[in-house]
Amino acid sequence: MNKKRWLGVGVALVLLVISFAVPKYTPEIDTTSQLSSLKDLAFGMGTITENVIEMGDPNSRILALELFGTIGSGGSAANGGYDHEFMLEQLDKVLDDESIKGIYFLVDTPGGGVYESAEIRDRILKIKEEKNIPIYVQMLGMAASGGYYVSADATKIYATQESITGSIGVISTTFDITGLLDKYGVSVTNYTSGNMKAMGSPFESPSEEEKSIWQELINETYDRFVSIVANGRNIPEETVRTLADGRIYTANQALNNGLIDEIAFPEKSLEDLKTENGLETAEVFSYHKDTGTDFFSLLDLAKSKVEKSSDLIQLKEIMENHKNMPTPMYLYGGK
């Protein structure tokens, strides 16, 4: 069974019971999956173009890169969300374009997936190693957890006075819906090849041994995060550990603790990138991915019209949003 097995089996069982217990209940129409399939098909046809922000030398250019929204796979910029595939495509293009002499990285995110954050950082390191170009990060409203993870190796990090950063750590969320199943008289039996095979199942309350195993995984991921911050910011690891208890920091606090280099608005940080690296005459540009936003906004509207409102459907939506759980996240607040 695929990764949706817990959700599919559990919700299907609960829906089955409710359908018999409450005759007026009608199962949800599968319009959502149909619309999603249509979106996925069309999104794969998106083309990447360039948008010049500031005119300048076309042979000496600065890429303005935006990381806005929660870091994770499967999203799309068409509905205003974060598009991970597009982010990686942009970073890959830097390696193949000799005219790009610097990256201006705008970050506004609470963080997100451990794997996706690592993918971004891996490409940033590759760019630094192979091209040795400056990468300046400008934090906007928030650059927390995974947002800091992908920023730590930058040449310089800027934040505005109002920026929130930090939240250095790992979080993982699991569901325990045994009480809900009991409420509707549903029981679930897992047949496994080992006593830990069903670890993380929402249909069983976790044992102390399961909690211990999962905590070990979290600790290992956390240690990796701490090491990245220590190396990227040249801060002793023991100092980073005192800072990395998951708390968020204001720009002033981050500056005092060596987590950022300067407090400034984007105009100042971009100017510094130019003047400190001989890029005063550089062209500033960004990439754009054509995803047919206007058309798909209509699909989203149509989808909202067919969705039903009930406690059970809301539960299903919550579980759908966490269908990849349990998994470690570099995410502020776990939202």
Please give the domain boundaries of the chain with CATH numbers for all domains.
5-30+49-289+310-331 (3.90.226.10)
Cα angle, residue 252 at apex, residues 255 and 277 outer, rounded to 5°: 45
Examine the residue annotation and report whether 268 is marked as an active-site residue of this protein: no
Name the nearest CA neighbour of 285 among 134, 62, 97: 62
Catalytic residue among 76, 117, 145, 167: 145
How much is the pLDDT for 134?
Answer: 98
Q: Which residues pair with 164 in a beta bridge?
A: 142, 250
For residue 272, give both structure tokens.
Answer: 């510094």
- Verdict on whether the full-model pTM lies above 0.85: no
* Secondary structure E strands in 145-216: 156-159, 164-166
How much is the pLDDT for 313?
Answer: 62
What whole-number distance in Å separates Cα of residue 212 and Cα of residue 221? 14
- The radius of gyration of the chain from alpha carbons, rounded to an integer in Å, stands at 23
How much is the pLDDT for 333?
Answer: 74
Examine the residue annotation and report whether 335 is marked as an active-site residue of this protein: no
Computed from CA positions of residues 321, 327, 331, 334, in that sequence, does the dihedral angle turn out positive or negative?
positive
The identity of residue 176, as a single letter, is D
Query: Using an 8 Å Cβ cutoff, are 101 and 281 in contact?
Result: no
Task: Give the residue ranges of DSSP H helices in the chain.
Answer: 5-21, 31-43, 84-96, 114-131, 146-149, 178-183, 208-233, 237-243, 251-256, 266-275, 293-306, 311-321
Catalytic residue among 3, 197, 211, 335: 197
pLDDT by residue, tens only, the chain of 335 residues:
454 444 554 555 545 444 444 444 444 445 555 555 555 555 545 689 999 999 999 999 999 999 999 999 876 655 558 999 999 999 999 999 999 999 999 999 999 999 999 999 999 999 999 999 999 999 999 999 999 999 999 999 999 999 999 999 999 888 888 888 888 888 888 888 988 888 888 888 888 998 899 999 999 999 999 999 999 999 999 999 999 999 999 999 999 999 999 999 999 999 999 999 999 999 999 999 886 554 555 555 555 544 544 556 655 655 555 454 578 888 887 44
How much is the pLDDT for 16?
Answer: 45
What whole-number distance in Å separates Cα of residue 166 and Cα of residue 148? 6
**SS3 helix, strand, coil % of the chain, rounded to 5?**
45, 20, 35
